[in-house]
């Protein structure tokens, strides 16, 4: 059985009274998922519908003009979604906080039986023009509790919000939301919710199309809710959260060509190579060889776990060994009384300058990893930092220049750097200012394909390019002036004359005729 797949499970709360761009935004998100073959799941709820049909109305009354129009969870099927919207497109008058709470309850109840590694999302597409009723604070508290319980992401897409700097990472989104300025009464209420939720954003339609995919848990980014085990009896409540990814910017390539595939050699005579078909995989147990298929060698069938193997002095784990795929924090995950055990463990280990060596199985059928936990008593809250330790073939060899002075010298040009900076949208010197950095945006070529595919799939012009962010404006002539000065101006006539004088060189290295 393969490891459980990562899924994003969302509830879409769609305001039928919002601008036309709201429908294009929903279509763009649905079509992007649909054409990519995504297995993510969703459910649609209509706000300001002429129909009232939702679980909270059925239970307690109220919650008017909110329609749980899709009765079951489904994949992102644009045809199905727009059929449901078009059948219920007469506007009513709803309280958008009530609609948001209905969405939270759907997220809690509809996806509880979905297996695998889940990221929960609420996508609220609205211009926030609907007035609010009474009891706002009560609803706000319920919404915040529900979202925090699921560690869900909240996207409010539609309102025009000032973007003071280019958003280049999920951390930038959080910084932006921490300081965004509310300009209307509805945004002031929304700000009370946003300020209490770690993963939330309010933005315009164009940014929303991209942030719905870029601002979420990546693989391994979900809070990992597994206690830290000590022996066979003690389980300390904990959750593990990734804080840093490993990002390899460049790597060394052998000058002797590609590294050859590994081969089997005799353990006693390394000059003797053994054909792979003659090799039998297995393990030694009690002095006997036990045959075992290679694909079963490290398979784990017990449930995911996080257990302490031993404690060791910090000097035994130097920093150069801490080369795992990212860095994580192990945080308390219960009431203050139950978290005291983790806090005491962190304090005592820090006092004695000791680290924890632990074994982590991320999910069923995953290979175990050996990790180091570094106590951080001064953090708020107290926590462990952890990363995996290298084992066997994962131990890396350090490379360095044989003679540093023999490295090639490179002449730099300020004009070249200025030109490249002017094209780099993530540079402070860029001529084009963008609200989103490239790494937070969908691929522009794939988005054009989605735009064309949506027209064919839905059998009408959707004009999805209206919610695209244009990246292809050519740079101004002023930007290129510094670059032009690096080369003498040449004309085609002069170059042809040079070619003729030189014997008619047919190569196209210099000029493409």
pLDDT of residue 462: 92
pLDDT of residue 209: 95
Supply the pLDDT for residue 1. 42
292 is written with which tokens? 């075992």
Full 3-state SS string of 221-289: CCCECCCEEECCCEEECEEEEEEECCCCCCCCCCCCCCCCCCCEECCCCCCCEECHHHCCCEEEECCEE
Peptide bond between residue 381 and the one before it cis (omega within 30 degrees of 0): yes
Name the superfamily (CATH) of residues 6-214.
Answer: von Willebrand factor, type A domain (3.40.50.410)
Structure letter (DSSP) for residue 50: S
pLDDT for res 503:
57
Residue 2 is predicted with a pLDDT of 46
Q: Considering only CA atoms, which of 440, 54, 494, 386 is closest in space to residue 210?
A: 440
Instruction: Considering only the C-alpha atoms of the chain, give the largest distance between any 2 of them, rounded to a whole number of Å.
Output: 93
Half-sphere exposure of 39 (CA within 13 A, CB side): 9
Residue 508: per-residue pLDDT: 46
Q: What is the CA radius of gyration of the chain?
A: 29
Which residues of the chain are in CATH 2.40.290.10 domains? 228-247+277-394
Q: Identify the CATH class of 228-247+277-394.
A: mainly beta
**CATH 3.40.50.410: which residues of the chain?**
6-214
pLDDT mean values, one per 10 residues, the chain (513 residues): 69 93 95 92 94 93 93 92 74 92 95 81 94 81 93 95 89 92 92 93 96 84 86 91 67 61 80 86 86 71 87 89 78 91 96 96 82 93 90 59 72 78 74 81 89 93 88 54 61 73 53 40
């Amino acid at each position: 059985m393969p490891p459980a797949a990562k899924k994003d499970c969302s509830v879409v709360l769609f305001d039928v009274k919002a601008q036309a761009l709201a429908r294009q935004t929903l279509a763009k998100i649905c079509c992007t998922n649909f054409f990519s073959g995504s297995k993510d799941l969703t459910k649609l709820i209509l706000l300001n519908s002429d129909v009232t049909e939702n679980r909270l109305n059925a239970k307690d009354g109220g919650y008017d003009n909110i329609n749980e129009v899709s009765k079951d969870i489904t994949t992102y099927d644009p045809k199905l979604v727009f059929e449901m919207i078009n059948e219920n497109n007469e506007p009513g008058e709803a309280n958008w906080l009530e609609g948001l709470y209905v969405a939270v309850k759907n997220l809690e109840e509809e996806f509880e039986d979905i297996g695998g590694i889940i990221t929960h999302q609420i996508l609220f597409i609205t211009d926030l023009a609907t007035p609010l009723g009474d009891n706002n604070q009560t609803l706000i508290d319920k919404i915040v509790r529900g979202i925090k319980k699921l560690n869900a992401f909240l996207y409010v897409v539609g309102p025009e919000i000032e973007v003071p700097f280019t958003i280049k990472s999920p951390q930038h989104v959080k910084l932006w939301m921490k300081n965004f300025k509310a300009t209307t009464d509805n945004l002031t209420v929304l700000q009370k919710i946003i300020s209490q939720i770690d993963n939330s954003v309010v933005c315009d339609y164009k940014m929303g199309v991209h942030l719905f995919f870029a601002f979420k848990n990546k693989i391994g980014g979900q809070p990992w809710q597994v206690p830290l085990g000590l022996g066979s009896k003690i389980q300390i409540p904990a959750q593990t959260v990734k804080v840093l990814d490993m990002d390899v910017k460049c790597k060394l390539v052998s000058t002797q060509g590609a590294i050859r595939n590994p081969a089997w050699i005799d353990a006693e005579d390394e000059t003797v190579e053994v054909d792979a078909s003659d090799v039998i995989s297995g393990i030694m147990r009690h002095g006997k060889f036990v045959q075992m298929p290679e694909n079963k060698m490290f398979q784990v069938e017990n449930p995911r776990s996080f257990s302490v193997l031993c404690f060791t002095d910090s000097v035994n784990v130097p920093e150069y060994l801490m080369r795992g795929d990212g860095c994580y924090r192990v945080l308390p995950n219960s009431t203050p009384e139950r978290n005291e055990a983790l806090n005491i463990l962190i304090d005592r280990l820090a006092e004695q300058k000791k680290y924890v060596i632990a074994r982590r199985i991320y999910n069923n059928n995953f290979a175990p990893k050996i990790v180091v936990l570094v106590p951080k008593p001064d953090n708020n809250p107290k926590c462990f930092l952890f990363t995996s330790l290298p084992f066997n073939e994962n131990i890396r060899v350090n490379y360095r220049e044989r003679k540093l002075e023999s490295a090639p010298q490179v002449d730099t040009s300020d004009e070249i750097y200025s030109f490249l900076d002017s094209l780099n949208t993530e540079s402070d010197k860029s001529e084009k200012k963008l609200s989103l950095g490239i790494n937070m945006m969908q691929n522009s070529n794939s988005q054009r394909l989605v735009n064309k595919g949506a027209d064919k799939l839905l059998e009408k012009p959707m004009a999805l390019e209206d919610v695209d962010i244009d990246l292809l404006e050519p740079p101004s002539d002023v930007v290129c002036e510094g670059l032009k000065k690096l080369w003498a101006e040449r004309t085609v006539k002069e170059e042809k004359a040079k070619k003729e004088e030189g014997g008619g060189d047919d190569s196209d290295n210099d000029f493409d005729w």
